[in-house]
């Protein structure tokens, strides 16, 4: 089976060159362009934008034995392949993705060359000059106008929301392997009841906060997760930061998926967010299934009032003991964290986080 997904099929030009270096080959290369975040410095706009460059012909059949070993077959196999086929993608190094921003006088943002270490990933901070734009700015891949991304202008001050996705706002069942795989590869995504409405209420109560979605789900599922956020959390859009997974052996792909380090990854990414927006204040939302309490506790101990409040959704059959939270939130004032069960989600909208309640 060959992969057909809506990322990039480069048919507009044979190649684009910068200083005599090939950037993208129309017949061989493809690009997955991620949404980005922007900040201002000295009156100029700077955007952090990731991209993945890979061989356009993705042979997803190499994944079938691994999928079949977990009982995925037939129509379910087709769904799984369309959702996660990039697990079989072959990344390409030393390619320069170029993105055009019409709202910035058609500045062409040249990302760094895709990396050998991360097999095709490119992450760069690019200067976009002084732009006339609102909260969202559209970028267009220079050689393929059908491939776009959104760069979100995150204000340097005010409130923001950093939210986990799996089992915080989307039902995934991360702690139960078979349900995790079913909900990730096969089932239609379902929101945690009440969370879309809660986030819509935060838009009003926190005066249009910037939402940033930070997930342990690897970037190969970006399109799937992105569509879920755009359709289900349309009132609270924002950039999605996915975990990094480099697949070197497709026969071990499920082992790799199930053993990803979410703690170190999330601490690193929130540290990066703090470096970009040190004067903002964030409400952080997660769950008890993996390491969100430990991550948010560590970030509070490091950056203090950068974290205004920690909300943790408690899941049955996970460690919700006083001992765990006591260790995770050591040094965090009691009035800076809240543990809640699903029947308490509706009431969260009544909490005046903007005035210091949590």
The per-residue pLDDT for range 166-190, each reduced to its tens digit, is 999 999 999 998 898 899 999 999 9
pLDDT at 132: 66
Ramachandran assignment for 120, one of left (phi > 0), alpha (psi -120 to 50 degrees), beta (any other): left
Contacts of 197 (CB under 8 A, 6+ apart): 346, 349
DSSP percent split of the chain into helix, strand, coil, nearest 5: 35, 30, 40
Strands 136-141 and 98-101: antiparallel
Bridge partner residues of 163 (DSSP): 213, 285
Alpha-carbon distances of 319 from 296, 297, 322, rounded to whole Å? 16, 16, 9
Residues 6+ apart with CB under 8 A from 302: 271
Task: Tell me the chain's radius of gyration from C-alpha atoms.
Answer: 21
Nearest to 125 by CA among 45, 37, 242, 46: 46
CB of 172 within 8 A of CB of 228?
A: no
pLDDT in the model for residue 188 = 94
Below-50 pLDDT ranges, the chain: 1-21
H or E segment and range at residue 294: helix 292-303
Alpha carbon distances (Å) from 178 to 37, 63, 151, 172: 34, 17, 35, 10
Q: How many CB atoms lie within 10 A of CB 297?
A: 22
- Amino acid 5: pLDDT: 36
What six digits make up the tokens of 235? Answer: 């009132």
Q: How far is C-alpha 195 from the geometric centre of its chain's CA atoms?
A: 18
Instruction: Round to whole Å and give the CA distance between 260 and 333.
Output: 30
pLDDT on residue 67: 86
pLDDT at 26: 61
Token duo for residue 302: 């490091």
Whole-angstrom distance, CA of residue 315 vs CA of residue 321? 11
Locate 119 and state its tokens.
Answer: 């097999």
So what's the pLDDT on residue 9? 31
Rounded alpha-carbon distances, angstroms, from residue 192 to 47, 183, 343, 348, 350 = 31, 13, 11, 14, 18
Q: Please tell me the predicted confidence (pLDDT) of residue 21.
A: 47
Residue 2: its pLDDT value, please? 34
């Amino acid at each position: 089976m060959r992969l057909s997904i809506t990322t990039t099929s480069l048919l507009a030009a044979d190649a684009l060159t910068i200083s005599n270096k090939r950037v993208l080959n129309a017949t061989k290369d493809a690009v997955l362009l991620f949404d980005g975040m922007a900040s201002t410095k000295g009156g100029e706009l700077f955007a952090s934008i990731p991209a993945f460059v890979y061989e356009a012909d993705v042979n997803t059949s190499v994944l079938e034995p691994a999928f079949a070993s977990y009982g995925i077959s037939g129509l379910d196999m087709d769904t799984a392949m369309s959702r996660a086929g990039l697990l079989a993608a072959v990344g390409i190094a030393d390619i320069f993705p170029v993105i055009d921003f019409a709202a910035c006088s058609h500045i062409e943002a040249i990302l760094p060359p895709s990396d050998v270490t991360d097999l095709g990933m490119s992450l760069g901070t690019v200067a976009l000059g002084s732009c006339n734009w609102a909260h969202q700015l559209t970028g267009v891949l220079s050689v393929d106008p059908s491939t776009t991304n959104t760069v979100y202008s995150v204000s340097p001050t005010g409130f923001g929301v950093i939210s986990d996705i799996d089992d915080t706002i989307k039902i995934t069942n991360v702690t139960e392997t078979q349900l995790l795989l079913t909900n990730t590869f096969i089932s239609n995504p379902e929101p945690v009841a009440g969370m879309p409405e809660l986030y819509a209420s935060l838009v009003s109560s926190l005066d249009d906060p910037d939402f940033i979605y930070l997930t342990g789900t690897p970037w190969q599922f970006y399109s799937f997760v992105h569509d879920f956020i755009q359709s289900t959390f349309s009132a609270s859009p924002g950039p999605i930061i996915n975990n990094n997974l480099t697949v070197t052996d497709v026969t071990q792909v499920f082992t790799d998926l199930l053993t990803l380090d979410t703690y170190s990854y999330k601490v690193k990414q929130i540290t990066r967010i703090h470096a970009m927006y040190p004067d903002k204040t964030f409400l952080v939302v997660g769950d008890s299934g993996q390491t969100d309490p430990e991550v948010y506790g560590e970030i509070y101990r490091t950056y203090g009032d950068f974290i205004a409040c920690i909300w943790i959704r408690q899941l049955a059959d996970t460690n919700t003991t006083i001992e765990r939270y006591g260790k995770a939130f050591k040094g965090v004032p009691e009035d800076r964290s809240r543990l809640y069960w699903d029947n308490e989600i509706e009431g969260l909208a009544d909490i005046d986080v903007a005035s210091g309640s949590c």
